[in-house]
Structure 1
Amino acid sequence: MRTLEVKIAYLDENLKIIERNKEFYSTFEKVGFIYTSITDVVFPKHKADLLKFIKSGDSKDIVAFKFKEISGEYKYNIVTKAKEDFRCQNLTVLKLIDISNAFKTFSEAEFYEKKVAHVLSLTSEYLFSYQKSTNNFTMYNYIQNKRVTVYNQDIDAWKSQVITDGFIAESDVKEFEGKIEELKECNEIFWARFVCSLRSNKSVFEHMSLKAVKFIDNGEVYMLGRMLPEIVMNQSEKSAMLLQELKFDALTGVFNKKAISDLAQKRFVTGAKENALLAIVDLDHFKPVNDAYGHLAGDKVLARAGEILRNILGEDGVIGRYGGDEFLIILEDMQEETVFRGIFRTINNDMRLAFEDMFPDIKVTVSIGAARFPKDGSTFDELFKKADFCLYRAKDKGRDRYVFFREDLHSELYKKACEAKTEGIKYDVREVRELKSMSSFLLNLSASTKSAAETVLGHMLKTYNLDSINIYYGEAMERKFCLGQKSDLLSEARYVYSDIFKNALGSQAFIRIDFTTEVISPDFGKILDERGVKSSIQCVIGSPENPLGLITFDRLKESALWAEYEMNCCIMVAAALNLLPESKIKLLFI
């Protein structure tokens, strides 16, 4: 049955989108992680009303506005709002539900309910609910496909009535009374068994089983359950358990290795539907958790990881536990790179947040490697090898990131890995190449300052997928040197004199920013965001207390994690420039 898709955006006081869920991202945004205002996606004529709605005090209102989707079409969405403390910021949470999809979902739910009613009318199963706030108990069943309410009253009155009417066997009255009091406590799971004639009005006494689970809706606490003859309940549970054992991993709640492998083998074959993706998700630093805190702690991490993956992917993907701390994911309809980037980034973020306070001395994160079908391979084995290769690349780059296979970047190294018959590459020819590039730069810097700098910076611009490298110099911190995109927003960097920048630097002479919305200093992140910078490494020339200049390595189109060697090379270039006399540095600007 279709699930109701809810798009969520977190807005600051200026209505900037600080964070969003994958449904919002895949519906409205085209490229990269562009942190825009919510007003950029709303129908122009609805902008004023939306602003009024967001700034109004009442959070219970439900309204509808048109929003522009990737296709360019404006569609009506039901909109609700709330306030939430998100990452130490008091943000407005906006939730959007497409009206047309909502109607389809409700129609399917109605049809599904009718099917359930038909099945229940065949089994004579009784369903019941208890609402804690009202103390009300309801029991009903289905006769000839119609719902019939058997009881609807205060639970204590119902308990007294069925005992008085003789529907509970005398030997089980005390057990029954105790279990009803237990039901009223609304624990996560409720179970009871006793002899009664609730189904037959005293004509037949039978052993009955009652099972219920806790359910919370808009702050109201309910217990929802079913009542069946004990023999039927036992048989159904045994069948369900057998099916679960055959397909699902008991600890994580996702498919087991055999099930996910079978699905992948059948899915990735020549001629199958295109634009699918295979990803391997591996927990970072999982072994130290088991070694230091024991396998119970490790099991807790695995169970939480499985829950996070299920919540993020929903019906968009299939998940299986492939190894001890390794999960396999199959994603469909991954035609646009920005969609699976959004999913992977959400997985990285949610996993990091879930485990950041669990162990004081171990940082549990995840690394992800992925390959696309049929672009990167036409069989499961081919895709798995390339995804596994990318997983090792993510580990080598510092973990807590994703890498998807790219022919232009990975073909040479992947070929070497296959020839060496290794799971991954324990050495990296790319890092070696960067070291040689840095060595050449350092050797030539003093004799041919401008040529050496332009050569190494041009190499970094291309191979690090940068958009712009800028050098600012002098008291006005004007841009004196630029490679790549010459953005008007980056013509000066006078913020180096501000307390915001100095606080962001801390005790270092450089700042690394992977995502401008997730820096330690949100104020400095806002400065970069306003300048159109999504990721940046910024190194001071001179000293933080007396800056002579600044060199920045910027990504303007989309955010991305910096590899450790990329960051180290940027710092090395700045350190080398710092060793030059001012007269040599000025040669760069001629």
Structure 2
Amino acid sequence: MKSLEVKIAYINNDLKILDRNTEFYSYFEKVGFLYENIADIVVPNQQEKFLNFIRTSNGQKEFKVFKFKRINGEILHNLVSIKKAKINNKDCLSVRITDPTNVLSFINDAIFYEKKISTALSLTNEYLFLYEQSTNIIKIDNFIQNKKTTVYEQDLDSWCEDVISNSLIAENDIHLFNEKMSELKQCKDSFSLTINCSLRAGHSVFERMCFKAERLENNGSVYMIGRMLPEVMIEQAEKSNEILQELKLDALTGVYNKKAVTSYAEKRFVPGTKENAVLAIVDLDHFKPVNDAYGHLAGDKVLEKAGLILKKIVGDNGVVGRYGGDEFLLILEDMDETKFRGIFRTINNDIRSTFEDMFTDIKVTASIGSAFYPKDGSSFDELFKKADFCLYRAKDKGRDRYVFFRDDLHGELYKKASESKTEGIKYDVREVKELKSMADFLVNLGAQSKPAIITVLEHMLKTYNLDAISIYYGEAMARMHAFGQRPDNLSDARYVYSEEFTRALEGKSFVKVDFTTELKESAKDFGKILDQRGVKSSIQCILGTPERILGLITFDRLKEGAMWAEYETNCCIMVGAALNLLPESKLRVLFM
């Protein structure tokens, strides 16, 4: 879908331009810098009207059309909206200017041809019409269950004659109808007509129908774009028309805006609707430092790119919307958990790789919290709270990861957070328990080595949602002890002597693998070894040194890969390091 290419200028109360995005500068060329006052780019006879619009809008999301001048003298019509904003934590206004050429093509793409837009706009059994002044053609489309049907497409005069001759207009409204159709031809700023007719129901039923339209220009052609709906729906229409005016999309990122995506989610997540869906919140890590250090224009670029990434990855599998700031809302449909995880991994990877070279000192990544419908909740509000809770868990665990809500892991803490009305708890009961578990292990290791090792590994197997923990020792690297599953393909670990394992170690005493299929190039061969063994993610700590390996302890997930929480990684490494503190003679006795 085409971008709206919104030109944005930030202004203060004196209408002085404080900042502008690159689209603004490119569109107005040097005008953006030659003039300090926003009104200076408007044609003189509209400046007073323009200033009044800015001063009275109060940050409300309404649109007006004004004529702007470019440095070459060209005069162009543009849609203008005003929103509240902040620059360096100070209140200001953002003036958003949109070229009608882009708006028209965007409307054609988004409204007439994209099913998701029509669903979000609730365009069911509704009529949209487009009148082109140069051709005198009126086109009326009907949306029923997300399908578009062209009802009329003919010369306006011919259409008027047909509907009158077929008695589709109430006799006492024919004069008003003809009068208003002549007015439609003039293509004024707006158009409104309410008459008794049976344009929707044929000859069977007359009803009060309202026509509402707005003028747009495109490459010298003039259009009226509007809606045709029953008068009884006018209150609802006015509300949805406000949404339509905003095109249902966030101008900066190109995804659905907050009002659209929350409205969709509220309708989607109700008892009785199709199951097997996920609500996810995607939050950009370290976004505020980008704004603070590089300015809001750099921040806008980050948001714009993030929106494109999310739309591309989600595709036809769901809906993407900007919930606010650097936070996005995803509604994903009809997939098993493995595919959901694949989408989230792809989001993490693409966000990370897209921005890794953009800022030298700031690492922009994404944290994701999610909840399943209907397992975790039967309403948008309930799912959002649990997804938001998991978002904080992802942040606490080191960012750049996703967390699914799991009642067995999160239920107790979520209840506690809900009761205390906190968004998240930085260091929860679980992390504290892990620290205590490690402390007990280290205290007991010297005096009661084997019981201490068994206790801590059994605890980690259960708490970290692992499938197997294996200890290999001796020249044959045979499996000496195992906790959890004991598959035959994990009976030995002779691969520790291979070049693939040595490259994966990179001189360290451990290897951490979140997903075997996503290892960096230097460790891909080791990833293949793990795949052949049925291991999806693993932390492997050597006993001894990289130059002289005595043994290996592995913490494995066999069913599916998952990102290791920071404290899980640290505790696994801590166990390996603690075992290495034992004398070699004691290790041999323990594991041989």
Query: How does the TM-score come out when normalised to structure 1?
Result: 0.59
Q: 1:49 aligns to what?
A: none
Residue 246 of structure 2 aligns to a residue whose secondary structure is helix
Deviation at residue 307 of structure 1 after TM alignment: 0.9
Q: 2:362 aligns to what?
A: 362
Code of the residue aligned with 2:306 in structure 1: it is: A
Aligned residues: CA RMSD: 3.3
Task: Label 1:578 to 1:422 Cα distance change in 2 as closer, same or farther (>3 A).
Answer: same
Q: 2:416 aligns to what?
A: 416
Task: Label 1:394 to 1:481 Cα distance change in 2 as closer, same or farther (>3 A).
Answer: same
Q: 1:261 aligns to what?
A: 262
Q: 1:539 aligns to what?
A: 541
In the alignment, is the contact (CA less than 8 A) between 1:479 and 1:492 conserved in 2? yes
Q: 2:374 aligns to what?
A: 374
Code of the residue aligned with 1:508 in structure 2: it is: K
Q: 2:398 aligns to what?
A: 398
Q: 1:491 aligns to what?
A: 491
Deviation at residue 494 of structure 1 after TM alignment: 2.2
1:170-193 deviation digits (Å, cap 9, x = unpaired): xxxxxxxxxxxxxxxxxxxxxxxx
In the alignment, is the contact (CA less than 8 A) between 2:256 and 2:322 conserved in 1? yes
Q: Does 1:315 align with 2:305?
A: no
Q: 2:447 aligns to what?
A: 447
In the alignment, is the contact (CA less than 8 A) between 1:510 and 1:539 conserved in 2? yes
In the alignment, is the contact (CA less than 8 A) between 1:516 and 1:535 conserved in 2? yes
Task: Label 1:122 to 1:487 Cα distance change in 2 as closer, same or farther (>3 A).
Answer: farther
Deviation at residue 432 of structure 1 after TM alignment: 0.6
Show the 5 A alignment for 1:238-249. Answer: 243=244, 245=246, 247-249=248-250
In the alignment, is the contact (CA less than 8 A) between 2:243 and 2:260 conserved in 1? no
In the alignment, is the contact (CA less than 8 A) between 1:450 and 1:587 conserved in 2? no
Residue 574 of structure 1 aligns to a residue whose secondary structure is helix
Residue 315 of structure 1 aligns to a residue whose secondary structure is helix
Q: 1:230 aligns to what?
A: 220
Distance in 1 separating the partners of 2:379 and 2:412: 21
In the alignment, is the contact (CA less than 8 A) between 1:125 and 1:228 conserved in 2? no
Distance in 1 separating the partners of 2:586 and 2:245: 71
Distance in 1 separating the partners of 2:562 and 2:497: 27
Code of the residue aligned with 1:496 in structure 2: it is: V
Task: Label 1:246 to 1:480 Cα distance change in 2 as closer, same or farther (>3 A).
Answer: same
Distance in 2 separating the partners of 1:510 and 1:242: 54
Residue 369 of structure 2 aligns to a residue whose secondary structure is strand
Residue 266 of structure 1 aligns to a residue whose secondary structure is helix
Task: Label 1:330 to 1:234 Cα distance change in 2 as closer, same or farther (>3 A).
Answer: same
Show the 5 A alignment for 1:474-513. Answer: 474-513=474-513
* Greater relative contact order structure (CA < 8 Å, 6+ sep): 1
Q: Does 1:386 align with 2:376?
A: no
Deviation at residue 260 of structure 1 after TM alignment: 1.7
1:21-43 deviation digits (Å, cap 9, x = unpaired): xxxxxxxxxxxxxxxxxxxxxxx
1:129-174 deviation digits (Å, cap 9, x = unpaired): xxxxxxxxxxxxx9x989xxxxxxxxxxxxxxxxxxxxxxxxxxxx
1:289-314 deviation digits (Å, cap 9, x = unpaired): 11221111110110111111111222
Distance in 2 separating the partners of 1:229 and 1:302: 30
In the alignment, is the contact (CA less than 8 A) between 1:391 and 1:402 conserved in 2? yes
In the alignment, is the contact (CA less than 8 A) between 2:132 and 2:221 conserved in 1? no
Q: 2:524 aligns to what?
A: 522
Q: Does 1:300 align with 2:301?
A: yes
Distance in 2 separating the partners of 1:394 and 1:459: 22
In the alignment, is the contact (CA less than 8 A) between 1:284 and 1:364 conserved in 2? yes
Task: Label 1:120 to 1:312 Cα distance change in 2 as closer, same or farther (>3 A).
Answer: farther
Residue 222 of structure 2 aligns to a residue whose secondary structure is helix
Distance in 2 separating the partners of 1:473 and 1:511: 17
In the alignment, is the contact (CA less than 8 A) between 1:474 and 1:549 conserved in 2? yes
- Count residues with an aligned counterpart: 380
Deviation at residue 511 of structure 1 after TM alignment: 1.0
Runs of 5+ in structure 2 lacking a partner? 1-128, 138-149, 155-185, 188-216, 227-239
Code of the residue aligned with 1:544 in structure 2: it is: P
In the alignment, is the contact (CA less than 8 A) between 1:449 and 1:587 conserved in 2? no
Distance in 1 separating the partners of 2:495 and 2:338: 32
Distance in 2 separating the partners of 1:464 and 1:125: 69
Distance in 1 separating the partners of 2:322 and 2:364: 17
Distance in 1 separating the partners of 2:279 and 2:134: 41
In the alignment, is the contact (CA less than 8 A) between 1:481 and 1:588 conserved in 2? no
Distance in 1 separating the partners of 2:477 and 2:551: 7
In the alignment, is the contact (CA less than 8 A) between 2:530 and 2:536 conserved in 1? yes
Distance in 2 separating the partners of 1:264 and 1:299: 25
Residue 552 of structure 2 aligns to a residue whose secondary structure is strand
Distance in 2 separating the partners of 1:500 and 1:229: 62
Q: 2:570 aligns with which of 554, 568, 571?
A: 568
Q: 1:280 aligns to what?
A: 281
Distance in 2 separating the partners of 1:228 and 1:292: 39
Q: 2:120 aligns to what?
A: none
Code of the residue aligned with 2:532 in structure 1: it is: E
Task: Label 1:120 to 1:371 Cα distance change in 2 as closer, same or farther (>3 A).
Answer: same
In the alignment, is the contact (CA less than 8 A) between 1:471 and 1:551 conserved in 2? yes
Task: Label 1:250 to 1:509 Cα distance change in 2 as closer, same or farther (>3 A).
Answer: same
Distance in 2 separating the partners of 1:423 and 1:121: 52
Residue 469 of structure 1 aligns to a residue whose secondary structure is strand
In the alignment, is the contact (CA less than 8 A) between 2:132 and 2:223 conserved in 1? no
Q: 1:584 aligns with which of 583, 586, 589?
A: 586
1:7-28 deviation digits (Å, cap 9, x = unpaired): xxxxxxxxxxxxxxxxxxxxxx
Distance in 2 separating the partners of 1:357 and 1:548: 40
Residue 321 of structure 1 aligns to a residue whose secondary structure is strand
In the alignment, is the contact (CA less than 8 A) between 2:394 and 2:403 conserved in 1? yes
Residue 331 of structure 1 aligns to a residue whose secondary structure is strand
Runs of 5+ in structure 1 lacking a partner? 1-117, 127-141, 147-205, 208-226
Distance in 1 separating the partners of 2:270 and 2:563: 33
Distance in 2 separating the partners of 1:505 and 1:562: 17
In the alignment, is the contact (CA less than 8 A) between 1:438 and 1:456 conserved in 2? yes
Query: How does the TM-score come out when normalised to structure 2?
Result: 0.59
1:305-346 deviation digits (Å, cap 9, x = unpaired): 111111122232122111100011122334x22232222222
Distance in 2 separating the partners of 1:436 and 1:378: 37
Q: Which moved more, 1:499-508 or 1:437-446?
A: 499-508
Code of the residue aligned with 1:331 in structure 2: it is: L
Q: Which moved more, 1:379-388 or 1:521-530?
A: 521-530
Distance in 2 separating the partners of 1:367 and 1:384: 15
Deviation at residue 478 of structure 1 after TM alignment: 1.9
Code of the residue aligned with 2:264 in structure 1: it is: L
Q: 1:131 aligns to what?
A: none
Q: Does 1:347 align with 2:347?
A: yes
Residue 232 of structure 1 aligns to a residue whose secondary structure is strand
In the alignment, is the contact (CA less than 8 A) between 1:366 and 1:399 conserved in 2? yes
Residue 316 of structure 2 aligns to a residue whose secondary structure is coil
Task: Label 1:546 to 1:406 Cα distance change in 2 as closer, same or farther (>3 A).
Answer: same
Task: Label 1:466 to 1:125 Cα distance change in 2 as closer, same or farther (>3 A).
Answer: farther
Distance in 1 separating the partners of 2:448 and 2:243: 74
In the alignment, is the contact (CA less than 8 A) between 2:134 and 2:221 conserved in 1? no
Show the 5 A alignment for 1:4-15. Answer: none
